[in-house]
């Protein structure tokens, strides 16, 4: 979720052929029994365009899977500062909503 290491400045999946990419694409394998899904995406992400998150959200919606897409207007591939705090809070809220709060 919070990425800033050099490994996240390249995308190894770009090195696979189109047939393999299509076969492995999560977008093409969404089904109604998928787990509730939280998507956190930077609108300025140059590595994974925001359209990817919007497309997977549309597929989740079509399949009836509970989901939420939170877009970070000024973020790229990873979150810092207030965006990081917002992402963490959203993730905790999501898990509490879908799994439950931890026992005291």
Return the residue matching tokens 């497309």. Answer: 55
> Is residue 93 classed as helix, strand or coil in its secondary structure?
helix
The token pair at 60 is: 């989740």
List, in sequence order, every residue forming a beta bridge with 42; answer none if it has no partner. Answer: 72
CA separation, residue 6 to residues 12, 33, 58, 61, 83 (Å): 13, 35, 31, 33, 20
**What's the pTM value of the predicted model, to 2 decimals?**
0.80
Q: pLDDT tens digits, the chain, 104 residues: what are they?
A: 444 455 455 666 667 777 777 788 888 899 999 999 999 999 999 888 999 999 999 999 999 999 999 999 999 998 999 999 999 999 999 999 999 988 88
Which domain covers residue 52, as residue numbers? 34-104
CATH number at residue 95: 3.40.50
Domain count of the fold of the chain = 1
Residues 79 and 24: their CA atoms lie apart, in Å, by 26
Pair of tokens at residue 46: 């140059």
């Amino acid at each position: 979720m919070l990425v800033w290491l050099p490994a996240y400045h390249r995308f190894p999946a770009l090195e696979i052929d189109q047939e393999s990419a299509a076969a492995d694409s999560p977008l093409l394998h969404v089904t109604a029994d998928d787990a509730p899904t939280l998507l956190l995406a930077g609108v300025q992400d140059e590595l994974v365009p925001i359209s990817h998150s919007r497309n997977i959200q549309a597929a989740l919606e079509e399949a009836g899977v509970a989901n939420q897409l939170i877009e970070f207007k000024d973020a790229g591939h990873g979150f810092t500062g207030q965006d990081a705090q917002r992402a963490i809070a959203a993730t905790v809220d999501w898990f509490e909503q879908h799994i439950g709060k931890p026992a005291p």
